[in-house]
Amino acid sequence: MSYLNMKDEELLTVVVELNILLADYHIYYQKLRSNHWNILGKNFFDLHVQFEELYTDARVKIDEIAERILTLRYHPMSKFSDYLRVSSIAEAAPIKSDMDMVTETIKDHKLILKQMGKVIEVAEGVNDEGTIDLIGAYIRELEKASWMLDAWSKNTSDALKTRVAEVQ
């Protein structure tokens, strides 16, 4: 493959892991849409907006991941049945409490971050800097979203670590 200075067969492992990440993002996206539609209670306004922000971001990432696969000269997975088959993220009941929605979203983030780690690992093995750069930025963004959701789920009396990390 001349324009990437990499061989197609070397990139196959990267594409496989990107397709799994694409599947994870599709299931995650739909779960966020469901949460957005089905949220009830005192936290409606905050979480309704937050779930919309998360699924809008996921929609963009779905497109970028698929386009990265195309850039690597392969076709992205595009059947929902395939997404359900390969994703580590499971479908969920649409009706649940706000706390359960947030807890499950954080759990999904852990699974997506784990898959992103696999993508980075195989991309490093074939010197695929474009994929490493793309997914590295996603990791940072998803870690921040996870922190914010986790902070939302805490009581105001909860504390972080009890001592400040000091430089020696």
Q: How confident is the model at residue 113 (pLDDT cuts 50, 70, 90)?
A: very high
Q: Please report which confidence band the pLDDT of residue 1 belongs to, taking 50, 70 and 90 as the band edges.
A: very low
Range of the domain at 118: 8-153
CATH code, 60: 1.20.1260.10
Q: What is the pLDDT of residues 80-99, one digit of tens each?
A: 999 999 999 999 999 999 99
CB 153 within 8 A of CB 48: no
Identify whether the C-beta of residue 32 lies closer than 8 Å to the C-beta of residue 54: yes
161 located within any domain: no
Sign of CA dihedral 55, 57, 59, 61: negative
Confidence of residue 2 (pLDDT cuts 50, 70, 90): low
Q: Over 50: is that where the pLDDT of 30 sits?
A: yes
